[in-house]
Structure 1
Amino acid sequence: MALIDVDSDPWQSELRGCENLSYEITEFLSTRSREPNRTTDNYARLSTNIRVRLKQFSVQIQQLENGPLPRLITGEERERRMREVETLKSRLVRLQNQFEDRVNHPRIPEYAEQSSSIQRPFGEASGAIEIKGQMKTLEEEQDKGLEALSKIVSRQKQIAETIGGEVETQNEILDDLAVRIDSTDTNLVTETRHVAIIDRKDATCGYWVIIILLLIAIIVVWVI
């Protein structure tokens, strides 16, 4: 649970804005799919609007991913936000695929395309050129998105390797500490035994002193 006010968090507001934009793109795709002819001005206009919003959607996702996080935030909340960004990235790829599937129509034979382009009005020919340009732009953006996703996976792998190395180091420290504790216990037992032996020796010496004094006293009494 985050330690900040979620309602006043700009990150949450940007997240909701991204989600609303994705819903808007979905509506445009649905409207365009109902167009009977892809060469109409309305179809071209819808395609342009979708392309612009897809670009905006991609930029907003990058801002969510690279934007500063509040200081008072838990690790759990940080992980939740990363998952939200990954979900939005997947949604972006899905929307781009839907857009490209609609644009990538079955290819017309070259001779038929050339003959029909002679008879088509100039507006329709320019519309086809615009669509091809949009397709190329979207392909480039998709390549960039895949490259960014690859970098994320690589960064997560590096983090996992770092954590694994730290765990191994801590295990080595614990093992060394256990060995030292065992050695200390052994030394303590040995020293305890030495103290017991010294105590017994001290008691024996006292007895011998008393015996010698008694012998001296007996001899003195006997002489007197």
Structure 2
Amino acid sequence: MDSWMTEYYNLADLGSRIWEQLSRRDQRQQTRANMARVNEDIRSLLSAYNKSLLSLKSSLARASTSYHITDREYERRQQLVDELTTKQRQYEIALHSLDGSASSRAPLNPFPTEETDTTRNMDTSALRQEQQRIIEEQDRGLEALSNALRRQKKMGQQIGEEVEYQTGMIEDLGGETERVDLRIQRETRRIETTTRKRGNCVLWCIAVLLFIVIVVFMAIPRQ
């Protein structure tokens, strides 16, 4: 696992701790002093979360510009960063959207009205607009993911077609190789046969010459 993924998992774990703190705060009856202390602890965790998220984004940008990761891996990690960014806004809104009395009556919902320094002074209408903006951003993220999946599907189809084409070429090459091999075997047998025939002819010629020499030698009269 590389350092970026380690940083991502640490940040996701920190987000879980923030959400757990928010849930505990809203499930208990708190005095004003206790509520202030709990909120301050959550703000501290959220501040660390924000810094880590900025660091994660910067690391991803550097990895992309230096070509340390592929385009597909960059898109996957960008989706992870977008999810953490959405959760960041949810944590911020949830921090200030519910006070002690309200939280004792209502649990956190999947799209809490977050709060931070940005949303602390927002009224209900503004918080709803912020919530709608988050939903729209998530929709854009889903649309981007859908487009990425369509591109990957198209790439998969193209790769499949290329593999099929290459497979056909390999099969054709295999058939041609087999035909050439058979032809080589036939030519090899023909050469061997021709070589044997020529060898026999040479032997017969030598034998005939020897016979002639013997006959001539015997025909010469001796003194």
TM-score with structure 2 setting the length? 0.53
Cα distance per residue 1:133-161 (max 9 Å; x no partner) = 22122211221123223323433444454
Q: Which amino acid aligns with 1:17?
A: E
**Looking at both structures, which has the greater relative contact order when contacts are Cα pairs under 8 Å and sequence separation is at least 6?**
1
Name the % identity.
Answer: 9
How many correspondences in the alignment? Answer: 173
> Residue 61 of structure 1 contacts residue 88 of structure 1 at CA under 8 Å; is this kept in 2?
no
> Residue 96 of structure 1 contacts residue 138 of structure 1 at CA under 8 Å; is this kept in 2?
yes
Superposition map of 1:57-76 within 5 A = 63=61, 66=64, 68-69=67-68
- CA-based RMSD of the aligned residues comes to 4.8
* Structure 2: tracts of 5 or more residues without a match: 28-38, 91-108, 113-121
Matched, 1:22 2:30: no
Q: CA 1:33–1:169 in 2, change beyond 3 Å: closer, same or farther?
A: farther
SS of the equivalent of 1:103 reads coil
Cα distance per residue 1:84-121 (max 9 Å; x no partner) = 98599579779979x7x7139xxxxxxxxxxxxxxxxx
Cα distance in 2 between the residues matched to 1:133 and 1:201: 100
> Residue 64 of structure 1 contacts residue 85 of structure 1 at CA under 8 Å; is this kept in 2?
no
Cα distance in 1 between the residues matched to 2:155 and 2:86: 25
* Structure 1: tracts of 5 or more residues without a match: 1-5, 7-11, 37-41, 71-77, 105-121
**What is the match of residue 74 of structure 1?**
none
SS of the equivalent of 1:102 reads coil
- The CA deviation at 1:196 is 0.6
Cα distance per residue 1:22-70 (max 9 Å; x no partner) = 333334444555647xxxxx9xxx9xx8xx97x9799679759845138
TM-score with structure 1 setting the length? 0.52
**What is the match of residue 181 of structure 1?**
181
Cα distance in 1 between the residues matched to 2:61 and 2:199: 78
Cα distance in 2 between the residues matched to 1:172 and 1:210: 57
Cα distance in 1 between the residues matched to 2:158 and 2:196: 57
**What is the match of residue 136 of structure 1?**
136
SS of the equivalent of 2:68 reads coil
